[in-house]
Amino acid sequence: MNERAFIIIKPDGVRRGLIGEIVNRFEKKGLRPVYAELKELSGETARSHYGHLKEQVFFDELIAYMTSGPVFAMIVEGRSAVANARSLIGPTNPVKAPPGTIRGDYGSDIDENVIHSSDSLDHASREIQLFFGRTGLLHKL
């Protein structure tokens, strides 16, 4: 059954020119990009997206980082998209991410770990709506 997952290539990944390489890895895994935008995040969108972390001491730094430059936000579609995307990306901490995963190959540390992916279908739906509104749900690449 096809699913949709939400992906963000974070500012460090965009700055380092990794968009093409990362998108290619998703395509090789059988996850087809169906919508994407290079965009600047507003503080409001970043705070909403990371609202579950608002009590953490690093919250303000996280928001500053996510709004420090453009991000590449996309929706990928395919079989078990959420689970496959998470497997391809690797653990949050790049130091613990195995080689061959995106974070294992490109992440420098937990603060700049290159990429985000939805961790459930419910979160994917919420994140797609937050970042793209109805546009992300209707258009296909």
Residue-range domain boundaries for the chain: 2-40+71-138
Which pLDDT score, from 0 to 100, does residue 108 have?
A: 87
Structural Rg of the chain based on CA atoms: 14
Domain made up of 2-40+71-138: CATH architecture: 2-Layer Sandwich (3.30)
Q: Tell me: the pLDDT tens digits for 61-109?
A: 999 999 999 999 999 999 999 999 999 999 999 999 999 999 999 998 8
Q: How far apart are the first and last CA of the chain?
A: 20
Q: So which residues are the catalytic ones?
A: 116
pTM above 0.85, yes or no: yes
- Band of pLDDT at residue 141, cut at 50, 70 and 90: very low
Going by the DSSP 8-state scheme, the letter that residue 110 receives in this structure is: S
Q: What digits encode the pLDDT tens for the residues 9-62?
A: 999 999 999 999 999 999 999 999 999 999 999 999 999 999 898 999 999 999
Let me know: does 46 contact 105? Beta carbons within 8 Å: no
**Which of the four pLDDT bands, split at 50, 70 and 90, describes residue 111?**
confident
